[in-house]
Structure 1
Amino acid sequence: MTKLDSLQPNGTPTWIDLGIPDLDRAMEFYGAVFGWEFDVGPESMGRYTMCLIEGREVAAIMPNHDSEASEFWWNVYFATDDVATTVSKAEAAGGHVIAPPTDVMDKGRMAIVKDPVGAQFGLWHGNRHVGARVVNEPNALLRNDLVTPNPGPAREFYAQVFGYTLDSEGYLGDDDFTFLRRPDGHEIGGIVGEPKARTASWGTLFMVDDADATAARATEAGGTADAPYDMAYGRVAEIKDPFGTPFSVGSPKFGG
């Protein structure tokens, strides 16, 4: 198990959370799909619920009380040493601040930003909550990729904000895919140019032992799943939970 107990380097996806209409139904679904256990937060914290593997945080879910909300998604938060400085860089690069820097009690400091192509993401500087404490293991976060019909401005934005280097090495054939790498060369995700995409959004991919079996569990638990398929890095399934929240799962080749 890849365990983390310290802050990740700047620009690394470090946390994910999800707001949905029915917390109990979400726990039932994600418990069945990933085997997660849950630590439900108090009402004073909006019932912000930690999703756990062997007692270690991998994600969070919470009730979304907006009766008019019709779309739900996994939010990705990027690690930063200084939230305010990174927000300033994002604004200078053409981003828009949705939620300004704020302290989350003694857990850490956060902000929410929208990039120039419309994709939303969070920033997190951890204190008592460092972020995901299990990654790159079955049923935990593996990677995040931005899908957008307009990849050019996105590449420029994220390189400017986080100092990523960009490369397209042809691993995915003719697909428009750009690797995002931290200054130390570590790949943190990528940008997918998809002309048919309706909007720009960050996707979340969880590692699993068996993409086909996970897709079957998701369907049995009340979600939907497209037929799993093979790609250069392994076998993938695209899934939606009972509220229509999209996410992906990938079999172990992705860890190689």
Structure 2
Amino acid sequence: MTDARGNARPNGDGSGRHTPGTPCWVSLMARGLATTEKFYGALFGWEFRPGPQPLGPYVRAVLDGHAVAGIGVLPPDRRLPVAWTPYFASDDVDRTAEVVRSCGGTVGVGPLDAADAGRMALASDPCGAVFGIWQAGPGAGRGVTGRPGTPAWNELTTYETPHVAKFYETVFGYDEDPVVSADLDYVTLRLDGRPVTGVHGVGNALARDRGPHWTTYFTVEDTGDAVDQVLHLGGHVLTGPRDTEHGRVATVADPEGARFALVQGPR
């Protein structure tokens, strides 16, 4: 996260639907569901309920009755990374998937129905970063944001911003707000004037073992306390905590290596 980050807030028609292009869900593909539930349940206070299973075992993480994230299980015969993936809203997943393909991206899974919850696809941008596309079903409920244990922001780390930012602008209709700086390659992508996500180009500094990737930030009450809890639960601290214009931030990983960030808003 950089100081270009803003506060993204979902909007829509008042139902469970979000304006197309809005980040609307995050999902983790893990290897051990029970141990993963234990870690995030203790860290964020989540409870877990069965969810739609188009790709295998899947649970919804619930906070005070509101679904905030999903956790699925990676197939044991596939060597895929354990990672958090953001989903972006669409009114027509099939059409959005076609736009992804026409712009040089790849659709790796779907589009397919997630029971009666909606319709989804998993895709990657031209540089290889994985993201999801989500079309909510008619009875989908609204998630909760802005409180500890909920997603706050999603940010893409990639090689450089111009090409990949144009990809997401074309697919989701974003407007581009670049940072004018000789030593920072960063673009905030906006919908109707609202910042919804960021793209951070780091050039050759991008780790070869990770490649381009999305990072999800979760709101916490106190970043220092949350970092201590991550360590106590068997996770790892990768960077921080550090103070930024938007709050105190740390990048961490769960016991299986899935990376995410913690952010405590300014006080």
Both proteins in one fold, TM over 0.5: yes
| Shift, 1:152, TM fit | 2.1
Q: Is the 8 A contact 1:83 1:101 kept in 2?
A: yes
1:185 aligns with 2:198: no
Aligned pairs for 1:95-244 (under 5 A) are 95-127=105-137, 130=140, 133-169=143-179, 174-182=183-191, 184-195=192-203, 196-198=205-207, 199-225=211-237, 226-244=239-257
Q: Is the 8 A contact 1:59 1:132 kept in 2?
A: no
Q: Distance in 1 between matches of 2:173 and 2:54?
A: 37
SS of the residue corresponding to residue 57 of structure 2 reads coil
In structure 2, relative to structure 1, the CA distance for the partners of 1:87 and 1:34 (3 Å cut) is same
State which of 33, 39, 55 in structure 2 corresponds to 1:23: 33
Q: Deviations over 1:63-108 (max 9, x none)?
A: 2232553621111110001111111211121111112321222111
Q: Distance in 1 between matches of 2:174 and 2:54?
A: 38
Q: Distance in 1 between matches of 2:140 and 2:220?
A: 23
Q: Is the 8 A contact 2:54 2:113 kept in 1?
A: no
Kindly provide the amino acid, as one letter, of the partner of residue 89 in structure 1: V
Kindly provide the amino acid, as one letter, of the partner of residue 208 in structure 1: V
In structure 2, relative to structure 1, the CA distance for the partners of 1:239 and 1:167 (3 Å cut) is same
Sequence identity, in percent?
A: 34
In structure 2, relative to structure 1, the CA distance for the partners of 1:206 and 1:162 (3 Å cut) is same
| Unaligned segments of structure 2, at least 5 residues | 1-8
Q: RMSD of the TM alignment (CA)?
A: 2.4
SS of the residue corresponding to residue 228 of structure 1 reads strand
Q: Distance in 2 between matches of 1:99 and 1:46?
A: 13
| Shift, 1:197, TM fit | 1.1
Q: Is the 8 A contact 1:58 1:132 kept in 2?
A: no
> Where in structure 1 do 4 or more consecutive aligned residues deviate above 6 Å?
42-45
| Shift, 1:191, TM fit | 0.2
Q: Is the 8 A contact 1:208 1:250 kept in 2?
A: yes
